[in-house]
Chains A and B, each alone.
Chain A
């Protein structure tokens, strides 16, 4: 090869790099030499096996992510290397299969949300929230954004970071201590000046409770020219009214419950949807797959559409810088949803609702335990308040090999006696009873 190139040494191909920049020796990385596959497996497995698993019982910890079951068939199909070794389908004719799956993803999520437009994925829910807010600012050209005080604290931090480069007022809405709901007078007051770009709400909220009349918030927001952004949990939509029904303009969510592992928090899947409205569509971030025809009009096929919004064409005028997204996670969600179907989804959501309520009921039987802390309906996650410091309960549970709920000593509750429990389809009655008994003993 070198002969054909016309050089005698490969280093001739680096002669344009200033000599002082060339490293004298190869970098000191790895284990000082190359490793055989067996050696590297042994090293990695031995390190990973130092991690402590909580599978019996499954973890009761939540905070935006909970452990769900990933069916073997989902894992199997998403391991097809035609999918995972592909690039973004820039050449649609040779990647129709991948494009069709992504179109199915957009379509299935759209039907789950009853929203018309779903993009091909965002990194995670936190960045989807940030992108939704940036989009609302572009659409309305306003400078204030209202968010619930009870929102996921990390999502709030991400939003703050993403807004660093903009002169924007990020305002928290007060909430009712009894129900967790957004304080309506506060909402009305903050909307009154007609300078709010968007109102963001979560259904269910980070703390698990469910605002049962989002219609009021939607109407108020729209009356004052603001957009309504709704954050959802996808499995809950098996039993909860979809945001399209109460007039949400933008919907975001965390797609992890749709067949993804926890993986210590990443990769995840940011769901992002809007209404079919030209003004919104023009400002949509991320990739979009659509239906087209062959040039001879004989057949239908799929391509990436409305690319003139994207960075490789619009550069600094693009709606977002996102390029690499979470396509493989979107494929996972597609396969998972197609395995469940509408009825399966409803039954799964019901089972999670039943199990989480069963735990809440059992805990409420313990003396001086408030479960759930909020009086409103909830799904999957809920807040429990103990008569003692939760940190102590958590540590004692760990001793019993139980990963308990997430302590809420920090934002948004600042309550060191409270925690957020998560119950999913994985928790059998026995698992739940075991947790309750353990807590009973600790208290």
Chain B
């Protein structure tokens, strides 16, 4: 199998090399008025600001419009997203982003709305958010959501703080948060930010939470457990009802990390599993794009008493009007300014309105079919194995280990990932979860085509063959991308750390 794929290689210089601080491609509005207004004022910025006036122009290079367009278009051509090819990063749910969503949000009816303009003047937008909330409640089995949280991790922080405040109000000193060793890194990080001590719960041979370990970890100090279900191995926690019983019996709470909802949305609900707080990743499950790293939206929802603790304000309907409710007797307050990341939320609304309940369920089923179809295709390829009960169906994602390949040939999971790039495919998440050696975590989502999934499996097989035939070039991949394999150690060496151009210049002895 030969690949003919080549990524653009523009050798595009930094904007600093292309532009100058005297150049601008921007025209100031109503420029001709300024001289007279200045005269009317009778004093200048320099005179008013005195010592805090900026004497020198900022070292910001400006470009003409055509230069600007070429520079950033070229850089875009050296980038890779779902619109180029599959991005099966595990736990990232990189599904296709419908273009209608992108178009509908580009309107002054969203873009020019000020967060402090009267509620009566934004009823249309609030109605969209309100309906979205009802649908998310239906999907999660929760009682109320807050739109505040701008990302999944922020939802987790909100959830962890809600748990903290809940026990503080009850006068209970519970400062331990239980987290499985297979959990996303954000779970322990969020718990720690909320002041909890993290207690790690091991994964059993079945690939699910070790119930006996859970039993011995639970105590009167336990505040809660943070779980994602299906877990990061793509395996459904089939003893979840037992977990729920054990955790609630000790008086602790259950937090659901919604990063992995895609495989069960519309099929099973965290609320029915007994979770008290849930966050959802709007930019994963509900098709809003990832934007090269963000923006996301991490709606956090709660049940029963925990609703009182949600970040404020909450959207409510009162006398047929949508209003923000700021009342907060127990709540944790605000987790960010204003109301939330509105644009991705509207995209989620468009997605759910377009699909409707049946197709939402269908999407989950398709994502699970895609995962298991891929497993069937790669099951017998030499060098990879499916750890933890290989016969159990996976849900939204799967994790394979390239340990045999690394042991037999020296070709590691990283080499496999880098070589995939040479075939025009984005690599899986690598070296995660930490409980799997040489891990490759793969999530195709519901929108990947059968053809691409088959091609991906074929390439993995080809890489295995090349590795076992002693092909050392696998250590030097990729070569078809805009740049060859990068040295991670060099850029991280204290002597070389250059996070900005001004530091870079200084390291090279330039002014």
Contact = CB atoms under 8 A, between A and B. Distances in A.
Interface stretch (B211-219, B327-335, B461-469): B327-335
Interface string B364-384: 010011101101110000000
B62 A326 contact: no
Contacts of B273: 21
A239 B375 CA distance: 60
A110 B69 CA distance: 23
Interface in B29-87: 29-31, 33-34, 37-38, 40-41, 45-46, 48-55, 57-63, 65, 68-69, 71-84, 87
A310 B376 CA distance: 35
A2 interface: yes
Contact of A264 (B125, B198, B292, B332): B125
A354 B38 contact: yes
A174 interface: no
Contacts of B283: 324
A166 B68 CA distance: 46
A111 to B, nearest CB: 4
A134 B354 CA distance: 42
Contacts of A125: 337
Q: Which of B393, B492, B498 has the most CB of A within 10 A?
A: B498
A197 B429 CA distance: 38
Given A84-B81, A240-B53, A377 B48 contact: yes
Contact of B128 (A7, A41, A47, A84): A47
A412 interface: no
A116 B54 contact: no
Interface stretch (B246-254, B262-270, B300-308, B398-406): B262-270
B238 interface: yes
Contact of A292 (B59, B134, B346, B487): B487
A261 B111 contact: yes
Nearest to A284: B499
Interface string A319-331: 0111111111101
B267 A31 contact: no
Interface stretch (A100-108, A181-189, A218-226, A381-389): A100-108
Interface string A1-45: 110111100101111111011110111111111110100110111
Contacts of B439: none
B373 A4 contact: yes
Contacts of B25: 73, 339-341, 344
Interface residues of A, number: 201
A290 B482 CA distance: 17
Interface in B127-179: 127-128, 134-135, 138-139, 150-154, 156-157, 160-161, 164-165
Query: Which of A84, A158, A355, A406 has the largest number of chain B CB atoms within 10 A?
Result: A84
B486 interface: yes
Contacts of A296: 476, 484
B481 interface: yes
B58 A238 contact: yes
A292 B22 contact: no
Contacts of A299: 483-484
A361 interface: yes
Contacts of A211: 52
A166 B195 contact: yes
B145 to A, nearest CB: 13
A85 B82 contact: yes
Given A87-B290, A101-B72, A329-B294, A48 B114 contact: no
A84 B125 contact: no
A17 B264 contact: yes
B316 interface: no
B71 A321 contact: no
B472 to A, nearest CB: 13
Nearest to B129: A264
A28 B30 CA distance: 52
Contacts of A77: 68-69, 72-73, 76
A356 to B, nearest CB: 11
B224 interface: no
A152 B365 CA distance: 46
B481 A93 contact: yes
Interface in B438-456: 450
A212 B352 CA distance: 51
Contacts of A86: 79-82, 87, 290-293
A210 B52 contact: yes
Interface in B14-31: 14-16, 19-26, 28-31
Contact of B356 (A30, A51, A301, A398): A30
A171 interface: no
A4 B81 contact: no
Interface string B256-294: 000000001011110011000000010100000111111
Nearest to B483: A301
Contacts of A241: 51-55
B115 to A, nearest CB: 3
A82 interface: yes
A123 B151 contact: yes
A426 B128 CA distance: 29
A27 B360 contact: yes
A345 B60 contact: yes
Interface in B343-367: 343-344, 346, 349-350, 352-361, 365
A249 interface: no
Interface in A114-152: 116-118, 120-121, 123-127, 134, 152
B28 A425 contact: yes
B7 interface: yes
Nearest to A299: B483
A77 B69 CA distance: 7
30 contacts: A1-B369, A1-B373, A7-B372, A18-B238, A23-B269, A35-B354, A47-B128, A53-B113, A73-B69, A81-B83, A82-B77, A95-B80, A110-B500, A117-B503, A158-B333, A158-B335, A164-B165, A164-B195, A166-B195, A292-B490, A294-B486, A314-B189, A315-B198, A321-B153, A323-B151, A338-B62, A340-B62, A341-B23, A342-B21, A345-B57
Closest CB pairs A-B (n = 8): A341-B62, A292-B491, A165-B195, A265-B338, A327-B293, A85-B81, A344-B24, A97-B78
